[in-house]
Homo-oligomer: A and B are copies of this chain.
Amino acid sequence: MVDAVFRIIASDGLERASLREVAEEAGLAVGSVRHYFASSDELLVHSFSVVIDRIAGRLELALEAVQGQAPGTPAHHGAAVLLLEQFLPLDEERAVDVCVWLAFRNAARIKPVFAPEAARSHRAVAAVVGQLIMELLPGSAEQQDILVTEAERLLATLDGLCMHALLQSEWMTAQMCRDVLEAHLAGLGGLHRGR
């Protein structure tokens, strides 16, 4: 059922994820879908929640892999890149998730029903990125404001990469995504040192 919602949003957009479309995609009748979800909003909010849990789960798993490595080592760097790649639509599964994720977050600006889940999504992702920043900038642990700024900066870059990879896939290839990630990490390391 939720998978049907994901497929419709990924291929036709959130506004086409109506009860009738979802029911047909899931091979059910409208009444059957409404047996499980009293309203259209309920189904969509639940789908939003599921995609958040999926993405956050991938991120936290990858974060543990990062924290299991000694900072500064190549393995640590590689695990960090692997974590950041979990944001990007580099395979079919992640492409659908990111697509659905962005669609719901954009809709949350207009439809207040999505606002609580959107806030939860932001908190969960910001927590992971914040911890990653602390892993990558161990020397700046006391400068709280720099850590916050760098976390927001990394988060913005990731979301922008997501957008471009989804919307301008001709220009923003997978290799370009990885190059940008590497450049950003290199810029992180060289930053706030010579001051």
Q: Which residues of A contact B (CB under 8 A)?
A: 12-13, 15, 102-103, 105-110, 118, 122, 126, 145-146, 149-150, 152-153, 155-161, 163-164, 166-168, 171-172, 176, 179-180, 183-184, 186-188, 190-191, 193-194
A118 touches B180 (CB 8 A): no
> How many copies of this chain sit in the oligomeric assembly?
2
The interface residues of chain B lying within 8 Å CB-to-CB of A108 are 167
Select from chain B the residue with minimum beta-carbon distance to A150. Answer: B183
The interface residues of chain B lying within 8 Å CB-to-CB of A167 are 105-106, 108-109, 118
* Contact of A176 (CB < 8 Å), options: B149, B168, B171, B179: B149
- Least Cβ distance of A115 to chain B in Å? 10
